Amino acid sequence: MSAARTQVWLRDLGLGARFALSGREGWARTVLTAVGVGLGVALLLLATSVPHLLHQRNVRSAERDLTYYGAALDRPGDDTLLVGEVRSGWYGQDVTGELVRPEGAHVRVAPGLPAWPRDGEMYASPALLKLLADPRNTLLRERIPYRVAGAIGHAGLLGPGELYYYAGDGKLTAGQGGVYRTNSIGGHVGPTDLSILLTMLLTVGVVVVLLPIGILIGTAARVGGERRDRRLAALRLVGVDRPGVHRITAGESMVGAAGGVLLGFAFFLAGRQIASGIAVLRTDVYGSDLVPNAGLAALIVLAVPALALLGTQFALRGVAIEPLGVVRNAAPPRRRLWWRVLLPCAGLALLLPALHGLTERTNLTMVASGVALVLVGVTAVLPWLVERVVRLLGQGPLPVQLGSRRLQLSTGSAARAVSGITVAVAGTIALQTLFGTVLGDFRKGTGADLNQSQVSVVAAQGQTAAGLALGQRLAHAPGVRNALTFADHWGTLQGRGENDSGLPVTVADCTTLAHLARIADCSPGAVYYVPGGTQDPVPAVHPGDRVDLGSDGKGGLLWTVPAGMKQAAALTAPDGATRSGLLATPQALPFDRVDSGVDTLLDLDPATAATTLEQLRTMAAAADPLIQVMTLRDYTVDRKYTMIRRGVTIGAVLTMVLVGLSLLLTTLEQLRERRRLLSVLVAFGTRRSTLGLSVLWQSTVPIVLGLALAVAFGHLVGGVLGAITGAQLVYDWTGTLWLLAVGAGVVLATTLLSLPLLWRLMRPNGLPTE
């Protein structure tokens, strides 16, 4: 490029930049563009920060891990620590504690602690200290009665809202139930590899979350198009050629985009400051963990202005900017459908090969590209659909006529305004279908009958006496309708030579045994033999056989099977377990001869279940802090699957918020561009309510069509993705209805928020013009 040509380019770009920063209208348009682009940039920076965030949480979790993975430590040492883990809760929030007793002077201190707490003292997270300081939480203070020695630092917590503590307990012993000895503190960072299916879920989730942001950035860059085109027509009148017009437009759009990038970083930094006080879907983070990837951040800085520039230039493709005006308000040619469906068809073509099996990670690139093309195809088909439908409108009340006529004159603008919501809803529907379809691969049923029991109180081996006494108290606690207490033990059947084998033994009263096996005539002193199934075989037992109840199985604690032993059939207990082997009443086999864990299943009154649960936890902690009170569930879900689904859901929520804000900015700018028209209508006696309803109609028609398109494309993509996994398709129609309600609610809220500006613009003083 010659020096003269370069000078012309720089002159035109500079002129466009001056237009963007001159006058009230220029500043308003540039600010709106920058805010819209900045919101998108901020969310993109947040997305690039997620890997660092997860890594930091994983590192902190590993560095405070006290679990011992080596050979058994039989003796205390100068670097050993006795640990008892406490798992509790508080009205739906997890409360986790570590009871510790250092056995030497050189035990490594956990991160976030200045030293190990002394006997009766504790270090707690700031969130837990805040809860304990609340005078209404007396039950929690009774459960955690230690003196506060200080707060756990940032390095020892996963998030600012985590309820975690370390408490010193000088009574811990190595033989105590639930207590172990360790000298391995921290450094347990393990691999975080994901299966091909989980990787697919994550990949599709990233595409669905980020794609609407790119669309919104392109839309935000086209704010103020009509006013800009009239100004460009004036430039043509003074001799600027068409390439020069495009260069001036590029310079103007680059200013808004560059300002948007700067605002995006500012929004992101501001969001980091408040992130520590926000929890979404029970997930909270430290703002300092939100660090964007440097390479991806640099790519955003370069790609966002380029995307804004392409969006602006693309908007000029169908506009004839001539010296005497802009030929945009003339009737445009009808949009063609054939090329618009090529994008989703190409996307489906990329997805089809994966139907034969997703075995290689390289296939994920095709899957991600296919999903992106189909969703982008939604934005291509939507203007055609809006144009076809609005041509049929026009009849009805005056607000409908006004709104319909406005839509007929600017179908492209109406479609662009809701394209972000359409893509976001379509992508989220596809994700819902995919997650629901593969849920069966990550969810396992527990078999628990929540109609009989909802809580399990477990005392570990060595806590038999405390567990039995607690079970009796819990049975009479307020809010408890029924309690089943039993002791599970693993004995060794003697006298079989080399074939001596393990034998499960359960001790409980007749009422409890009736829930564990099909027993007709239970009486004190009864003993029953329950054969095992094919999945859990047990050795045959006969009267007179000797069973070693000792933990080492060396014949130290023998018990003889009585002659009156009967056979019974197994039942699934309320906790979902099926118990086989020997079932004995305490009269035949006393509890004190079985050094085992004790489990109490509780049936709570639904009316007071939440309060009763907290009272039970406090009662259990008073008996022994290491006794666990667990809520029963009818199924468990893989932790990695849950984390991915939760993260993608949070991203979708943030994207929806961004879509709403961007749509609000677009609506406000459209109203500003139509200020003279609104003033004319008011001057001729049009009611404000009529204009307000017409604006609502202009928003309603495109969003209804967009959501209909989103449902169709979302279920199409979700169905194909579900078929790739090979599982039976599951469509979440309830979730779809919720998404449609959210999408419609976003548009309705945007319209309502724009009404104050509408009222202000509907004044006769908007008529004067130059």
Which one is predicted more confidently, 644 or 324? 644
Lowest mean pLDDT among 477-486, 578-587, 729-738: 729-738
Task: Assess whether pLDDT exceeds 90 at residue 122.
Answer: yes
pLDDT at 28: 72
Which residue did the predictor score with more confidence, 559 or 536?
A: 559
The predicted pLDDT at position 212 comes to 83
The answer on pLDDT for 165 being more than 90 is yes
**Sequence-ordered list of residues with C-beta below 8 angstroms from that of 141, at least 6 positions apart, any chain:** 132
User: Cβ distance 583 to 516 under 8 Å?
Assistant: yes
Q: What is the pLDDT of residue 737?
A: 86
- Does 192 or 168 have the greater pLDDT score? 168
pLDDT of residue 313: 67
Distance CA 223, CA 33 (A): 6
pLDDT band at 97 (very low <50, low <70, confident <90, very high): very high
**Cα 493 to the chain's mean position, in Å?**
49
- For 203-228, how does the pLDDT look when each residue is reduced to its tens digit (9 = 90+)? 888 888 888 887 777 766 665 555 56
Q: Within the chain, what is the greatest distance between any pair of CA atoms?
A: 114
Tokens describing residue 761: 């613009």
**Average pLDDT over the chain, rounded to whole?**
81
pLDDT single digits (tens) 399-440: 778 777 877 777 666 777 778 788 888 888 998 898 888 888
Distances (CA, A) of 544 to 493, 494, 541, 583: 11, 11, 9, 15
Q: What is the pLDDT of residue 739?
A: 79
Q: Among 92-106, 345-359, 387-401, 657-671, where is mean pLDDT lowest?
A: 657-671
CB 49 within 8 A of CB 290: yes
More confident residue, 23 or 642: 642
Measure the CA–CA gap between 220 and 308, rounded to whole angstroms: 8
> Is there a contact between 103 and 80 (Cβ–Cβ < 8 Å)?
yes
The residue that leads in pLDDT, 498 or 677, is 677
Higher pLDDT, residue 550 or 718: 718
Least confident of 181-185, 492-496, 600-604, 613-617: 492-496
pLDDT in tens, 471-530: 999 999 999 999 999 998 888 888 765 556 788 899 999 999 999 999 878 888 999 999
What percent of the chain clears pLDDT 90, i.e. is strictly above it? 18
pLDDT of 327 > 70? The answer is no
Percentage of the residues of the chain whose pLDDT score is greater than 70: 85
Q: What is the end-to-end Cα distance of the chain in Å, rounded? A: 40
Instruction: Please tell me the distance from the alpha carbon of residue 711 to that of residue 429, in angstroms, as a whole number.
Output: 7
Read out DSSP for 564-631? T-EE-EE-B-TTS-B--EEEE-TTTS-GGG---EEEEEEEE-GGGHHHHHHHHHHHHHHH-TT-EEEE
Q: Can you give 301-320 as a three-state secondary structure string?
A: HHHHHHHHHHHHHHHCCCCE
The gap from C-alpha 474 to its chain's centroid, in whole angstroms, comes to 36
Cβ contact 627:621 at 8 Å: yes
Instruction: Give the relative orientation of helices 196-220 and 363-390 as an angle to the nearest 10 degrees.
Output: 40
Residues, the chain: 770
Phi, psi of 728 (to 5 degrees): -75, 130
Query: How do strand 480-493 and strand 121-124 relate by DSSP bridges?
Result: unpaired
**Quick one: pLDDT at residue 366?**
85
pLDDT at 155 over 50: yes
Do the beta carbons of residue 568 and residue 560 sit within 8 Å? no
pLDDT at 400: 79
- 332-346, 478-492, 545-559: lowest mean pLDDT where? 545-559
| pLDDT (0 to 100) of residue 329 | 46
Q: Which residue has the higher pLDDT, 414 or 166?
A: 166
Mean pLDDT of 34-46: 83
Average pLDDT over residues 258-267: 88
Question: Residue for token digits 């008996």?
Answer: 623
Distances (CA, A) of 287 to 49, 121, 278, 290, 456: 10, 30, 10, 5, 37
Name the pLDDT band for 602 (thresholds 50, 70, 90).
very high
Cβ burial, residue 241 (10 Å; 0-12/13-18/19+): exposed
Cα–Cα distance for residue pair 577/452, rounded to 1 Å: 13
Q: Residue 455 — very low, low, confident or very high, per pLDDT cuts 50/70/90? A: very high
Q: Is the pLDDT at 604 greater than 80, yes or no?
A: yes
- The token duo for 252 is 């103007």
> Comparing 252-256, 289-293, 436-440, 761-765, which segment has the lowest mean pLDDT?
761-765
Rg (CA), the chain: 34
- The listed range with the strongest mean pLDDT (70-79, 350-359, 615-624) is 615-624
Per-residue pLDDT at 724 exceeds 60: yes
Q: Residue 361, Cβ neighbours under 10 Å: how many?
A: 11
Whether 328 has a pLDDT exceeding 50, the answer reads no
Give the list of residues 6+ apart from residue 552 with CB closer than 8 angstroms, or none.
none
Confidence of residue 109 (pLDDT cuts 50, 70, 90): very high
Residue 87 has a CB neighbour count (10 Å cut-off) of: 14
Of residues 477 and 648, which shows the higher confidence score? 477
Point out which residues pair with 458 in neighbouring strands. Answer: 599, 628
Assess whether pLDDT exceeds 70 at residue 154.
yes
In the predicted structure, residue 252 carries a pLDDT above the cut 90 = no
CA distance 481 to 476: 8
- 403-405-408-411 Cα dihedral, nearest 10 degrees: -30
Report long-range pairs for 533-537 (Cβ below 8 Å, ≥24 apart): 533/570, 533/578, 533/580, 536/578, 536/580
Mean pLDDT lowest among 262-266, 395-399, 493-497: 493-497
Average pLDDT over residues 97-117: 92
